[in-house]
Homo-oligomer: A and B are copies of this chain.
C-alpha cells in the first residue's frame, strides 16, 4: 500500500518537474525570440547600439532623471552592469550623468537631444513587435499569463 502510494508520488513529482522545465524552456524561448526581433531592428537601423543599451534607453525614454540604482532595478540589472552600460551610453553622447543634490552619492541619468532622437527610430519598431503578439493572444489570456508569471517569480524571490 505504502509502496503503491510512494510510486504514485514519485510519478506525480516527475510529471511536475517536467512541466516546470517545459515552462522555463517556454519562458526562455519567448525572451530569445523577442531579443532576436529587436536585434534585427538594430541591425537594420544601422545605429551602433546593443540590445542591452536599448533596454536602458527604453526606460529613459519613458522618463529620464532617475538614479542609477533605480535604473538598474527597472532593467533587472546589477549596478555594476548598469555602470558599464551608462559609461558606453555616455561615450556615445546619448546620456549624461548629473550629480544628485539631495544625496551626494547619487548620480541622475538624463537623455541628451541625440539620445531623445533615437526614440523616433526605435520606438515604432518596438511597438510594432509588441502589438504583433496581440494577433495571436487575446488580452484576457495575456492578463492571466502575467498573473501566473508574477506568482512564479514571487515564489522565487
Contact = CB atoms under 8 A, between A and B. Distances in A.
A67 B156 CA distance: 33
Interface in A103-157: 127, 129-137, 139, 141-146, 148-157
A82 B114 CA distance: 37
In the assembly, how many copies of this chain are there? Answer: 2
A34 interface: yes
Interface residues of A, number: 49
Contacts of A136: 151-152, 154-155
The A interface, classified by DSSP as helix, strand, loop or mixed, is: helix
Interface string A26-55: 111111111011000000000000000000
Contact of A151 (B137, B155, B157): B137
B28 A76 contact: yes
Contacts of A19: 134, 139, 142-143, 146
A16 interface: yes
